[in-house]
Structure 1
Amino acid sequence: MKKRIKIQKKSLHLLLFNTLFCYYSFMKNIMPILPSSCKSLLCKYLNEDIFEKLKDKKTSHNFTLSNAINSGVQNLDSGIGIYAGDEESYSLFAPLFNPIISDYHHFEADDKHKSNLNIDNLNAPDLDPKNEFILSTRIRVGRNLKDMPLGTAISKEQRYMVEQKVSDALLELQGSLQGKYYHLNSLSTKEQKELTENHFLFKAGDRFLEAAGLNRDWPEGRGIYHNDEKNFLVWVNEEDQLRIISMQKGGDIQAVFSRLVDAIQQIEKSISFSYNTHLGYITSCPTNLGTAMRASVHIKLPKLSSNMELFKNITDNYHLQIRGLHGEHSQSENGIYDISNKRRLGITEVECVQNMYDGVKALIQQEKELN
């Protein structure tokens, strides 16, 4: 036990030394010497030639290469390690972004993204009408305003402008989407308790988002909207300027997707989102480009969870991700898992949801067949 503690302390000291050394280089605008132990895509693709080529470039919103890589330099355990400051970042810093996007999404610089939010193209009748397996369904998309810097580069004044514009649009929603908007910096004790109990309240992001500049001026200019039925939710100025979320108990994936599409279409009457034909919907983190969609279910699979190889074979076949009950890096509880689409760029929204639906259908079928 003592030996293990010494090894852990040594590893922590080494990580701290490497982080400080890289950050010193970064502050001096010289190429950080990234350790071989760093496995992020930033560490994989950033080299001295690219750094020298890009280090003095600035987008029209004054976003630099140093801003883009700050999170990955400070956090050597990042998976990606780079964030965009605006749509222009993806073209200006393309020598670094393009290989990272290609590696993560298998999507090349001359590929085109297509969007499809036509609910008639989705074939997803309720998979679990008796509620034996699926506890809940949740589909969300990220959106950012056209011609506005992303959260990594936005000013405090611009963030307030975004909140005002978005909250005005949300309060114009009609039908079952009608609800209430809450300014995060002026929540009453009662409102905070209510939002927490409903699992709607979001907090400042983690150290990765902090280093990317996404937590600046917290909680100013941020807010939450939910409809009266509490099955539709929007986070304003969290990681993306809008996180539009549709959810409900059970496995009626078609209904959840339909509500989401209705909301997007209503919001688009007042707001133009940042989008281009190559990368789709523009987001600060390159992993969310394209559809910016995560379609997921919480599902109980106690038998299948005892055979993770079979479990993973099914999810891999349908391009799905297995996560714990409380999301990434969490553990399963009582055989309950969060299953979601892995692909976002280069496929449509309908394809994302259809992949998730078909994969979940196969998982339920396998669970029923196991003794």
Structure 2
Amino acid sequence: MALWLKENAEDSDIVVSTRARLARNHAGIPFPHKIQGTTQARMVRQAATDAFMGSGKDFKLLEMQTLSEVQKRRLIEQHIASKELCTSQDGALILSPDESISIMVMEEDHYRLQYLKSGFAPEEAYQVCREMEHMLGQKAEYAFNSKLGYLTACPTNVGTGLRIGVMLHLKGLALSKTVDTVLNSIGQFGLTARGMYGEGSSPVADFYQVSNQITLGVREEDVVKNIRQVVGRLINQEREVRRILYKNNQLEIEDRVMRAYGVLKHARKISSEEACQNLSMVAMGIGLGIVAPCSQETIYNLIMDTMPAMLATEENEPVVQRDVSRAELIRKTLD
């Protein structure tokens, strides 16, 4: 279960979560790909552990080299760590008790400061990241250029180093076959849409990550404001499309929702893809008042908790066993 995913969050009928991420690097030390396995890599990690794991702080440290492949995939599926971090020789993850705060050390950049929050909360997510940045800044001098801003390994992050991503459930736009057109249009506002797991991933069950593209030549506060305005309009558009779809096709929508609910309630084995698709439909049904077996946040948690690595007890476990375990977990949760 995602411990940070709470009920009654803002716009949770459409928004799963908001993530703010700051990319920072230690001044005077080459980027991670240049210092793997060196004393400088250990210096980078030491600064982070000194900042977040001192006396009276309850963060924990996970070293990627000590984790199994299943454990690494779980971190990825829970949106806590990236694939790049999990394959880094010196990669480490510093986590808060509820896993809402994470510091990825020696990923593409020396530090990726991340905060996850239920619902639509770009302002809060940004503020928490700023507080993390201040804490780390007491132990590490940041690489900064007066003309360019914060220096990063990838040119697309130079400037603020700030990415704010919002995970949206766009089932209505998908059913109306307008989701591609709508998401293509947000590029003119400096935003982009990706799959559930960010860059390079495909959408899963009509869940999309929408985030800012531009980090250079903009103020951090303006990035937050733009996310609030553009994503806010996208949320309203999704709600209106759902309303119209239900008004014009009530029987069809109710039938699809209840069929999905029936499969989830009674299936004895179910694949990850089928579970996600049905959970996606039920989540929309909850929002429309068609069915109310649980909260939408519970559905969002089920989607993450039933991913392959979350259910695996060992490497190379038979797929059918995971499918059985997935169906059992869903039935128990919906009872």
Please confirm whether the aligned pair reaches a TM-score higher than 0.5, indicating the same fold.
Answer: yes
The alpha-carbon deviation at position 318 of structure 1 amounts to 2.4
1:31-62 CA-partner distances (Å, limit 9, x unpaired): xxxxxxxxxxxxxxxxxxxxxxxxxxxxxxxx
Match of residue 187, structure 2, among 316, 320, 324: 316
Match of residue 163, structure 1, among 45, 50, 53: 45
Match of 1:182 in 2: 62
Q: Is the 8 A contact 1:314 1:362 kept in 2?
A: no
Q: Relative to 1, partners in 2 of residues 1:133 and 1:182: Cα closer, same or farther, differing over 3 Å?
A: same
Match of residue 96, structure 2, among 220, 227, 235: 227
Match of residue 258, structure 1, among 107, 124, 127: 127
Q: Relative to 1, partners in 2 of residues 1:193 and 1:322: Cα closer, same or farther, differing over 3 Å?
A: closer
Identity rate, percent: 27
Between 182-191 and 230-239, report the one with greater CA deviation.
Answer: 182-191
Partner AA of 1:183 in structure 2: E
Q: Relative to 1, partners in 2 of residues 1:301 and 1:354: Cα closer, same or farther, differing over 3 Å?
A: same
Partner AA of 1:163 in structure 2: R
Match of 2:300 in 1: none
- Structure 1 position 141 matched with structure 2 position 19: no
SS at 1:353's partner residue?
Answer: helix
The alpha-carbon deviation at position 324 of structure 1 amounts to 1.5
Between 302-311 and 253-262, report the one with greater CA deviation.
Answer: 302-311
Partner AA of 2:171 in structure 1: P
Match of residue 246, structure 1, among 112, 115, 119: 115
Q: Relative to 1, partners in 2 of residues 1:202 and 1:260: Cα closer, same or farther, differing over 3 Å?
A: same
Match of 2:224 in 1: 353
Could you tell me how far apart the structure 1 residues matched to 2:74 and 2:214 are?
34
Question: Which structure 1 residue ranges, 5 or more long, are not aligned?
Answer: 1-126, 207-214
The alpha-carbon deviation at position 275 of structure 1 amounts to 0.5
- Structure 1 position 286 matched with structure 2 position 168: no
Could you tell me how far apart the structure 2 residues matched to 1:189 and 1:309 are?
34
Instruction: Give the structure-1-normalised TM-score.
Output: 0.56
Question: Which structure 2 residue ranges, 5 or more long, are not aligned?
Answer: 1-7, 245-335
RMSD: 2.9
Q: Is the 8 A contact 1:304 1:310 kept in 2?
A: no
Q: Relative to 1, partners in 2 of residues 1:183 and 1:308: Cα closer, same or farther, differing over 3 Å?
A: closer
The alpha-carbon deviation at position 172 of structure 1 amounts to 3.2
Q: Is the 8 A contact 2:20 2:164 kept in 1?
A: yes
Instruction: Give the structure-2-normalised TM-score.
Output: 0.62
The alpha-carbon deviation at position 179 of structure 1 amounts to 1.0
SS at 1:340's partner residue?
Answer: strand
Q: Is the 8 A contact 1:173 1:263 kept in 2?
A: no
1:204-226 CA-partner distances (Å, limit 9, x unpaired): 579xxxxxxxx7xx52x321101
Could you tell me how far apart the structure 2 residues matched to 1:142 and 1:265 are?
13
Q: Relative to 1, partners in 2 of residues 1:295 and 1:174: Cα closer, same or farther, differing over 3 Å?
A: farther
Q: What pairs with 1:86-165 in structure 2 (closer than 5 Å)?
A: 129=10, 131-154=12-35, 156-165=38-47
The alpha-carbon deviation at position 330 of structure 1 amounts to 2.4
Q: Is the 8 A contact 1:314 1:359 kept in 2?
A: no
Could you tell me how far apart the structure 1 residues matched to 2:74 and 2:180 are?
41
1:272-308 CA-partner distances (Å, limit 9, x unpaired): 1101111111111111100111100110122334214
Could you tell me how far apart the structure 1 residues matched to 2:119 and 2:127 are?
15
Could you tell me how far apart the structure 2 residues matched to 1:287 and 1:196 are?
22
The alpha-carbon deviation at position 130 of structure 1 amounts to 5.0
Could you tell me how far apart the structure 1 residues matched to 2:222 and 2:207 are?
25
Could you tell me how far apart the structure 2 residues matched to 1:307 and 1:191 are?
37
Which is richer in helix? 2
Q: Relative to 1, partners in 2 of residues 1:361 and 1:200: Cα closer, same or farther, differing over 3 Å?
A: closer
Q: Relative to 1, partners in 2 of residues 1:228 and 1:173: Cα closer, same or farther, differing over 3 Å?
A: farther
The alpha-carbon deviation at position 201 of structure 1 amounts to 4.5
SS at 1:284's partner residue?
Answer: coil
The alpha-carbon deviation at position 132 of structure 1 amounts to 0.5
Q: Is the 8 A contact 2:84 2:108 kept in 1?
A: no
Could you tell me how far apart the structure 2 residues matched to 1:204 and 1:253 are?
25
Could you tell me how far apart the structure 1 residues matched to 2:154 and 2:180 are?
30
Q: Relative to 1, partners in 2 of residues 1:149 and 1:196: Cα closer, same or farther, differing over 3 Å?
A: closer
The alpha-carbon deviation at position 203 of structure 1 amounts to 4.3
Q: Relative to 1, partners in 2 of residues 1:183 and 1:351: Cα closer, same or farther, differing over 3 Å?
A: same
Q: Is the 8 A contact 1:135 1:300 kept in 2?
A: yes
Match of residue 336, structure 1, among 207, 210, 220: 207
Match of 2:140 in 1: 271
Partner AA of 2:164 in structure 1: A
The alpha-carbon deviation at position 322 of structure 1 amounts to 1.0
